[in-house]
A = this chain, B = another copy of it.
Amino acid sequence: MRLPVLVLAGLVAGLVPAGPANTRPPAADPLPSWNDTTPKRAITEFVARVTKEGSPDFVPPAERVATFDNDGTLWCEQPMYPEVVFAFDRVKALAPKHPEWKDTEPFKAVLDGNHKALAAAGAKGLSAVIAATHTGLTVEEFRAAAADWLATARHPKYDRPYTECVYQPMLELLAYLRAGGFKTFVVSGGTAEFIRVWAEKAYGVPPEQVVGTTFELKYADRPGGPAIVVEPRFDLVDDGAGKPVGISRRIGRRPVMAFGNSDGDFEMLEYTTAGKGARFGLVVHHTDAEREYAYDRKSWVGRLDRALDAAPKRGWVVASIKDDWKTVFPPPKK
């Protein structure tokens, strides 16, 4: 418990971190990694409008909910969703315990590195791999496995840990919105447990503000005491029309702002911006083959087609990485 004089002293000395009731003023430029183009102006203009008391668009702090897709919106999803790379690596690690995988698709394709067979297995095959590598263990055990992988795996293009391949402009945006009294949530097609392992450190988003794909869970006795065991059946596939469902179930409010980058975010953007009062939707468009990747309508990973067509009609802002972001990634950690 802090005494008020300490809070005061802390504020004066700049030692008290920003919190909902203790918001720092924005720096002269709260979004330095964004160019001074339309998306940045739209964001700052919107936030000013909804946070200004007396404004006709004022949104009370309790209702300021902002939801962010993860893959391709907060971190790099190319050349393959990192959680899928994790699942593939885990198939290889678990293979000695599953000799049958050598002859069973899609596991055989993963073990052989057979991309053609993997593509043929499609979304159903991928779901089978995700289920086999994410279930049948406790939540704690899964998190430990994910943390171990994240500690050593490196992005093939950037040769950095995946958790450093996060978008600097979006980190600034998360902090900027929180300073404006918004609660920031990750709403991902990836699994909630995978994201919870690192979202707090990477994004400042705590586990209870992570909405993602989930499996059925079972409360069970384990040698170490009662624990939560992950069952091999999906509870919620938090993608597409599953995103508004996940938002309603876990957050219980329609967001005021939503950020995505692919057709899997269409319904989240639609649900958000169809709400009454001021609403904001933004699509990150991957246009920068040099600094990142350029892909949209024809990509299997992060396909952006329907949502790109819908954006102008529905007033969703499109942010082009090439044109609107000054920086893509944070500086390398020393």
Contact = CB atoms under 8 A, between A and B. Distances in A.
A124 B165 CA distance: 51
The 5 lowest CB-CB distance pairs between A and B, nearest first, are A19-B21, A207-B252, A219-B241, A225-B274, A228-B248
A85 interface: no
Interface stretch (A5-13, A74-82, A281-289): A5-13
A33 to B, nearest CB: 20
A100 interface: no
Nearest to A199: B252
Main secondary structure of the interface of A (DSSP, over half): mixed
Contacts of A20: 19-21
A185 B209 CA distance: 13
A245 B225 contact: no
A193 B251 CA distance: 11
Interface residues of A, number: 58
Contacts of A23: 1-2, 7
A1 B252 contact: no
Contacts of A97: none
Interface stretch (A102-110, A149-157, A210-218, A299-307): A210-218
Given A1-B180, A19-B19, A219-B267, 9 more contacts: A8-B12, A11-B11, A20-B20, A139-B248, A217-B245, A219-B241, A225-B274, A228-B245, A235-B249
A80 B19 CA distance: 40
A27 B226 CA distance: 38
Nearest to A242: B219
B1 A179 contact: yes
A69 B282 CA distance: 38
29 contacts: A1-B51, A1-B179, A1-B180, A2-B25, A7-B23, A8-B11, A8-B12, A11-B11, A16-B22, A17-B21, A19-B20, A19-B21, A65-B208, A183-B208, A192-B252, A196-B252, A206-B252, A207-B252, A208-B208, A208-B209, A210-B252, A217-B245, A218-B245, A219-B245, A225-B274, A226-B267, A226-B271, A228-B245, A235-B235
In the assembly, how many copies of this chain are there? 2
Nearest to A7: B22
Interface of A: 1-4, 7-8, 11-12, 16-26, 51, 62, 65, 139, 179-180, 183, 185, 192-193, 196, 200, 206-210, 214, 217-219, 225-226, 228, 235, 241-242, 244-245, 248-253, 267, 270-271, 274
Nearest to A18: B21
A226 B269 CA distance: 11
A228 B244 contact: yes
Nearest to A48: B1
A17 B61 CA distance: 13
A206 B183 CA distance: 11
A139 B235 CA distance: 19
Contacts of A26: 1
Nearest to A245: B217
A270 B226 contact: yes
